[in-house]
A and B are shown apart, each in its own frame.
Chain A
Amino acid sequence: MDYETVIGLEIHVQLLTQSKMFCGCSTRFGAPPNTQTCPVCLGLPGALPVINRRAVELGLRAALVLHCTVHPTSQFHRKNYYYPDLPKNYQISQYQYLEHPPLATDGYLEIEVDGQRRRVGIRRVHLEEDTGKLVHPEEGNVSWVDYNRSGVPLMEIVTYPDLRSPQEARAFLLKLRQVLQYAEVSTGRMEEGTLRCDANVSLRRPGEPLGVRTEVKNMNSIRSVERALAYEVARQRELLERGEAVVQETRHWDERRGVTFASRSKEEAEDYRYFPEPDLVPVEVTPEWLEEVRRGVPELPDARRDRIMAQYALGRYDAELLVQTRATADFFEAAVAAHPSPKAIANWMLGEVSAYLNEHNLEIEQLRITPAQLAELVRLVEDGTISGRIAKDVIAEMLQTGDSPRSIVDRQGLVQISDEAALRETVEAVIQDNPGPVRDVLAGKEKAVAFLVGQVMRRTQGRANPALVQRLLRERLGLLGG
Chain B
Amino acid sequence: MRELVGRPYHELRARLGKDLSVRELVEAYLDAIEAFDGQVRAYLTVTADQAREQARALDDRLARKEPLPPLAGMPVAVKDNLCTRGVRTTCGSRILESFVPPYDATAVERLREAGAVVLGKTNLDEFAMGSSTENSGFFPTRNPWRLDHVPGGSSGGSAAAVAAGEALAALGSDTGGSIRQPACLCGVVGLKPTYGRVSRYGLVAFASSLDQIGPLALDVRDCALVLQAISGRDPRDSTSVEVPVPNFAASLEAGVRGLRVGVPTEFFGEGLQPEVRHAVLDAVRVLEGLGAVVEEVTLPTLEYALPTYYLIACAEASSNLARYDGVAYGYRSPRARDLYTLYARTRAEGFGPEVKRRIMLGTFALSAGYYEGFYKKAQQVRTLVRRDFDRCFEKVDVLATPTSPVAGFRLGERTTDPLQMYLADVYTIPVNLAGLPGISVPCGFVDGLPVGLQVVGRPFDEVTVLRVAYAYEQATDWHRHRCPLFRG
Contact = CB atoms under 8 A, between A and B. Distances in A.
Contact of A278 (B91, B202, B208, B318): B208
A275 B375 contact: yes
Given A84-B327, A275-B371, A275-B375, A48 B236 contact: yes
Interface in A385-425: none
Interface stretch (B64-72, B129-137, B362-370): B362-370
Interface residues of A, number: 28
B268 interface: no
Interface in B307-353: 315-316, 318-319, 322-323, 325, 327-329, 339, 343
A160 interface: no
Task: Give the interface residue-count category, chain B.
Answer: 35 or more
B164 to A, nearest CB: 27
Given A275-B375, A279-B208, A279-B238, A45 B366 contact: no
A45 B239 contact: no
B203 interface: yes
A97 to B, nearest CB: 9
B246 interface: no
Given A42-B328, A46-B105, A88-B323, A278 B236 contact: no
| Chain A interface helix/strand/loop/mixed | loop
A45 B327 CA distance: 13
Contacts of A275: 315-316, 319, 366, 371, 375
Contact of B319 (A51, A78, A271): A78
A49 interface: yes
Interface string A78-92: 101010100111100
A357 interface: no
B381 to A, nearest CB: 16
A45 B318 CA distance: 14
B96 interface: yes
B212 to A, nearest CB: 13
Contacts of A39: 101-103
A48 B237 contact: yes
B99 interface: yes
Contacts of A279: 205, 208, 238-239
A337 interface: no
Contact of A46 (B205, B235, B366, B367): B205
Given A46-B205, A279-B239, A273 B363 contact: yes
B25 interface: no
Contacts, number: 95
A280 interface: yes
Contacts of A145: 327-328
B366 to A, nearest CB: 4
A127 B456 CA distance: 39
Interface in A279-294: 279-281
A477 interface: no
Contact of A45 (B319, B323, B343): B323
B396 interface: no
A280 B327 CA distance: 25
Interface in B217-251: 235-239
A273 B367 contact: yes
A50 B375 contact: no
B466 to A, nearest CB: 27
A47 interface: yes
Most B Cβ at <10 Å: residue of A48, A88, A271, A279: A48
A39 B329 CA distance: 12
Contacts of B328: 42-43, 87, 145
Contact of A281 (B82, B202, B205, B239): B239
Contacts of B325: 82, 84, 89
B319 A87 contact: no
A310 to B, nearest CB: 47
9 contacts: A39-B101, A44-B101, A45-B91, A45-B96, A46-B203, A50-B235, A80-B318, A90-B322, A275-B319
List the 9 shortest-distance A-B pairs measured between CB atoms, nearest first: A89-B322, A278-B208, A273-B366, A278-B209, A45-B204, A46-B202, A46-B83, A271-B368, A46-B204
Interface of B: 82-83, 89, 91, 96, 99, 101-103, 105, 200-205, 207-209, 235-239, 315-316, 318-319, 322-323, 325, 327-329, 339, 343, 363, 366-368, 371, 375
